[in-house]
C-alpha cells in the first residue's frame, strides 16, 4: 500500500486535511524509510532525504519552484509534481497592493499625517497604466485578470503561449525590449530556467521609462542584481519591489538593504497554505491509484 511521508513545517495541518479525505489504501510514515514511496513537502527537505528514500516514486512539492530537486547530481527516477493553480490570487493581491502603494503614494500620505502636513495634491491611478508581465502561466493570467479589473493595459511576454484573454498584447522571443517600452509596471513571474536567468538586465532596465516600477515575484536569478542596483542608485527607474533574491536569506551586507526606492519582502508574496496545497495532493493521489497521469508534472530537463 502507498506510504506517505510529509516533510514541511506544517506537517500536522497537512495530515489532518488529508486524513479527513479517507483516501483509500494510504498509509503514513513519520521519517524517511526504505518503504516510503510518496513524499509531500518542501523541495529542499525532500532533496536532503532522497538518499533515505530508495522506493520513492512520486514527490509532490508544496512550492511552485522546485529548484533544489533539479540538481543534475540528484536522483530523477521518480515523478515530480509541483503546486500550481493556487498562487494566482495571492500573487495578485501582492502585486496590486504594491502598485496601489506606489500609485496612490500611500507611504507619503502616512508621512504627511505624522508630520501634520496637509497635502491635497492629486495622486495617480492604475486606470490607463500599462503593466508588463513576464510569464503568463496560471499565476500571470490571474495577475492580468486583476489588472484588467483596475482598467490597466496588459502586455504579456511568453515563449509561445497566448492563453490569457486578459492580455492586450503578447510579445515573444527577441521582442523583449519592445515589450518593455512604455511599460509603467514591469512584473516578473517567470520560473528559474537557463533562459530566464538575468532576463531583467541593464538592457531591459534601460528600455523602461524613468517612472517605471519593477516587481520580482518570480525567481531571484531572473534579476541582474548589479544592474538593478545601478538603476536604483542612478534613478534610472522609479523603484523596485523584490520578494525573491539570487541568494536567500539575503546576506546582511548585501547593498539591497540600503538601496534607494526599494521595497523588500522575504519570499512571502504567495505562501503555500496547507488548505490549498493539500487539495492538489488529494487530487493527484486519486489519479495515481486510478492509474492516470498526475497533474502538474515537472520536466527535470526544462525545470518546470
CA distance 138 to 85: 6
Contact predicate 285/26, CB 8 Å: yes
Beta strand ranges found along 73-179 (DSSP E): 79-81, 130-134, 153-157, 169-171
- CB burial readout 245-263, b (16+ within 10 A) else e: beeeebeeebebeebeebe
For the chain, counts of helices (H) and of strands (E): 9, 12
CA distance 136 to 120: 38
Q: Is 145 exposed, middle or buried (0-12, 13-18, 19+ CB in 10 A)?
A: middle
- CB burial readout 103-139, b (16+ within 10 A) else e: bebeeeeeeeeeeeeeeeeeeeebeebbbbbbbbbbb
User: Is residue 197 among the annotated active site residues?
Assistant: no
Q: Using the structure block, give the residue that is written with the C-alpha cell 503561449.
A: 161
Active-site annotation holder among 84, 211, 219, 254: 219
Active-site annotation holder among 76, 104, 172, 267: 267
User: Is residue 267 among the annotated active site residues?
Assistant: yes
State the Rg of the chain over Cα: 21
Active site residues: 219, 267
Amino acid at each position: 500500500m502507498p506510504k506517505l511521508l510529509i516533510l514541511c513545517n506544517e506537517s500536522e495541518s497537512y495530515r489532518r486535511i488529508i486524513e479527513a479525505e479517507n483516501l483509500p489504501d494510504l498509509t503514513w510514515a513519520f521519517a524517511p524509510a526504505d518503504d516510503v514511496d510518496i513524499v509531500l513537502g518542501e523541495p529542499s527537505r525532500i532533496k536532503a532525504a532522497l538518499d533515505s528514500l530508495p522506493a520513492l516514486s512520486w514527490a509532490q512539492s508544496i512550492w511552485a519552484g522546485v529548484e533544489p530537486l533539479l540538481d543534475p547530481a540528484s536522483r530523477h527516477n521518480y515523478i515530480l509534481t509541483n503546486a500550481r493553480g493556487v498562487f494566482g490570487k495571492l500573487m495578485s493581491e501582492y502585486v496590486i497592493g504594491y502598485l496601489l502603494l506606489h500609485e496612490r503614494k500611500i507611504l507619503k500620505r502616512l508621512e504627511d499625517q505624522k508630520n501634520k502636513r496637509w497635502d491635497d495634491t492629486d495622486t495617480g491611478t492604475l486606470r490607463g497604466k500599462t503593466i508588463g508581465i513576464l510569464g503568463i502561466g496560471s499565476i500571470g493570467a490571474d495577475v492580468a485578470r486583476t489588472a484588467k479589473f483596475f482598467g490597466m493595459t496588459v502586455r504579456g511576454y511568453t515563449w509561445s503561449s497566448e492563453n490569457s484573454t486578459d492580455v492586450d498584447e503578447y510579445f515573444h522571443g527577441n521582442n523583449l525590449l519592445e515589450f518593455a517600452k512604455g511599460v509603467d509596471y514591469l512584473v516578473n513571474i517567470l520560473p528559474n530556467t537557463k533562459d530566464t536567468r538575468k532576463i531583467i538586465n541593464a538592457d531591459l532596465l534601460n528600455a523602461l521609462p524613468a517612472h517605471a516600477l519593477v516587481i520580482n515575484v518570480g525567481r531571484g536569478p531572473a534579476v541582474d542584481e548589479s544592474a538593478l542596483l545601478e538603476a536604483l542608485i542612478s534613478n534610472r527607474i522609479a523603484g523596485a519591489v523584490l520578494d525573491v533574491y539570487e541568494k536567500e536569506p539575503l546576506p546582511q551586507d548585501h547593498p539591497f538593504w540600503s538601496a534607494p526606492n526599494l521595497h523588500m519582502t522575504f519570499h512571502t508574496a504567495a505562501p503555500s497554505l496547507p488548505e490549498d496545497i493539500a487539495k492538489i495532493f488529494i487530487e493527484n493521489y486519486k489519479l495515481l491509484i486510478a492509474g492516470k497521469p498526475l497533474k502538474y508534472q515537472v520536466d527535470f530537463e526544462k525545470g518546470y
